[in-house]
Amino acid sequence: MLAALALVAVGAAALLFNAGRAEPERPCATRDFEGSRFIVCAYDASRHDLRLASRDSAGVYLRSFEALEGALGRDAQRVRFAMNAGMFNDVGAPIGLYVEDGDRQHVIRQTDGPGNFHMKPNGVFWVADNGDVHIDTTDDYVAVAPTPRYATQSGPMLLINGALHPRFAEDGASRYLRNGVGVSDNRTAYFVISSGFVSFGRFARFFRDELGCSDALFLDGSVSSLWAPSLDRQDDNQELGPLVVVLDR
C-alpha cells in the first residue's frame, strides 16, 4: 500500500513539473530546493494572457490585490495568479521603465544609485505583442530598443545567460522574502515567490537549476506578495506597486 501511494505521489509530481515546466492546469505549485520552499506560477503564452497593471480607470494607484480584483471586473474570474511586478516609489509609481498595454508610463533608468534596483546589471522583463516573453539586461534592452506591449524594469538580474549575477555570494547573509521572474524560452515565464527568507544566490540557483531558466530578474523583497485563487491565497499587503496578472484565455 505504501509503495502504491509513493507511485501516485511521484506521478502527481511529474504532472506538475515535466522537464522543468509547470503543468498548465495547475497555475501554481510548491517546490523545495536547498532547504527553502518556493511557490512557482507559470505563464504559457499559447494558453494565457498576461497584463501589467498599476492604476485603476480613475488613475488611482492600485496598491493591493483587492484593488486589482475590483479594477479587473468580470476578468477577475479568469485570474490564474498575480504578483508584485517591480520596484516603486512611496505612492506606488514605478521607478524604472514601465509599459502598460503599449503605453510607456515611465522611461528606462540607467543611472547609478543605492539599493537593489541599482545593483547592476539590472534588467527588464518585457512581453511582445504576440505574447513572447523576454528578460534583458538594461543595457541590452536599450541596444535592441524593442517596442513591447508590457515591460517592467527592476534589479538586480538574477541570471544572465545562465550565469548568476556577479555580485551574488553563494548563500549570502542578506535573507528576505523574495519574488522574481525567469524565462526558459520565449513562450514560458515562471513567476516565483519564496515561502521564507532566502538569499539572492539560492534564489538565482532555483531559477537555473530547478526551472531551467537562462535569464531571470529580481522583482522585489519584503513586500513580495501573491494572489493565487487555486491556492486560496490573496495576500493583503496594501502598499504594493505595479502588478503582473496572468489570466486564462
Hunting for cell 512557482 — which residue is that? 40
- For the chain, strand residue ranges (E) read 17-18, 21-22, 28-33, 36-44, 48-53, 79-84, 98-100, 103-106, 123-127, 133-137, 150-154, 157-160, 163-164, 178-185, 188-194, 215-221, 226-228, 233-234, 243-248
- Average pLDDT of span 148-169: 97
pLDDT of residue 222: 85
Higher-pLDDT residue of 6, 57:
57
pLDDT of residue 123 exceeding 50, the answer is yes
Residue 249: is its pLDDT beyond 50?
yes
Q: Which three cell numbers stand for residue 230?
A: 487555486
* Cis amide linkage into residue 156, ω under 30° from 0: yes
pLDDT of residue 11: 35
Cα 63 from Cα 221, distance rounded (Å): 16
Residue type, 166: P
Please give the Cα distance from 92 to 54 (Å, whole number): 8
Q: What is the pLDDT of residue 217?
A: 98
Q: Which helix (H) or strand (E) holds 68?
A: helix 65-72
Backbone torsion region of residue 35, taken as left when φ is above 0, otherwise alpha when ψ lies between -120 and 50, otherwise beta:
left
Q: What is the structure's pLDDT at 199?
A: 98
pLDDT band of 13, cuts 50, 70, 90:
very low
Between the CA of residue 238 and those of 65, 221, 224, what are the distances in Å?
A: 8, 15, 12
For the beta sheet containing 226-228, the strands, ordered from the edge strand earlier in sequence to the opposite edge, are 48-53, 243-248, 79-84, 226-228, 233-234
Q: What percent of the chain has pLDDT over 70?
A: 90
CA 61 vs. chain centroid, Å, equals 20
CA distance 98 to 16: 32
> Does residue 6 have a pLDDT over 90?
no
Q: Give the mean pLDDT of 217-240.
A: 97
User: Three-class SS of residue 207?
Assistant: helix
pLDDT at residue 8 is higher than 50: no
pLDDT in tens, 173-225: 889 999 999 999 999 999 999 999 999 999 999 999 999 999 999 999 989 99
If you ran DSSP here, which 8-state letter would residue 209 be given?
A: I
Check residue 173 and give its pLDDT: 87
Percent of the chain topping pLDDT 90: 88
- Cβ atoms within 10 Å, residue 70: 12
pLDDT at 141: 98
How high is the pLDDT of residue 26?
Answer: 86
pLDDT band at residue 7 under the 50/70/90 scheme: very low
Average the pLDDT over each of 15-19, 93-97, 181-185, 196-200 and give the range with the smallest value.
15-19
pLDDT at 117: 94
- Model confidence pLDDT, tens digit, residues 31-56: 999 999 999 999 999 999 999 999 99
